Amino acid sequence: MKKWVTCYFLMLGLPLTIHASESSFRQFRQVDPACLEKKVPAGYGKVFVEAGRRNNIDPILLAAISAHESGAWKSRAARVKNNWMGLMARSGTKRFAASQDSIFYAAQLLNRRPFVGRNTLSQIASIYCATNPSYWKSCVLEWERILGGRR
């Protein structure tokens, strides 16, 4: 009985996962900053929402990328270099004056080359994380579920 129930829910859940991963992140999703604020570091719910609004990007997915890339905002790059988005420069991890600068920079970057014309996580995964794009995508989707639920 347990196997049947598990398989049933997996079959129902699979199309939802595929749909979420293939939905365009280039559409601003109305999100209550106060609700997002409960799941991200204090003061940053409104930062993700504003960065998403300015760049027409889903703020939940922007926060999900940030959560994954920064080790839930605890990595050395996040703490020391204010890099919450896993952004790299030729010399290594990119440094920002403030962590919100990295969020706005990444949101703008997603609207420039080489991301232009790529509208789903599947399409940007190999650019954002060339070493293991399928793992990156699955982690970002899991963070999306934690931060705001599936669309």
Assign a CATH topology to domain 2-148: Lysozyme (1.10.530)
| Helix axis angle, 99-109 to 59-69, nearest 10° | 120
| Helix axis angle, 121-128 to 133-148, nearest 10° | 120
Q: pLDDT category, 11, cuts 50, 70, 90?
A: very low
Residue 29's pLDDT is: 87
Q: Which residues contact residue 144 at a Cβ distance below 8 angstroms, ignoring those fewer than 6 apart?
A: 20, 60, 61, 64, 150
Angle at 81 between CA 75 and CA 93, to 5 degrees: 80
For the cut 50, the answer to whether the pLDDT of residue 17 exceeds it is no
Residue of 69 and 16 predicted with greater confidence: 69
Question: Domain-by-domain residue ranges, the chain?
Answer: 2-148
Residue 106's pLDDT is: 97
Q: What is the pLDDT of residues 56-102, one digit of tens each?
A: 999 999 999 999 999 999 999 999 999 999 999 999 999 999 999 99
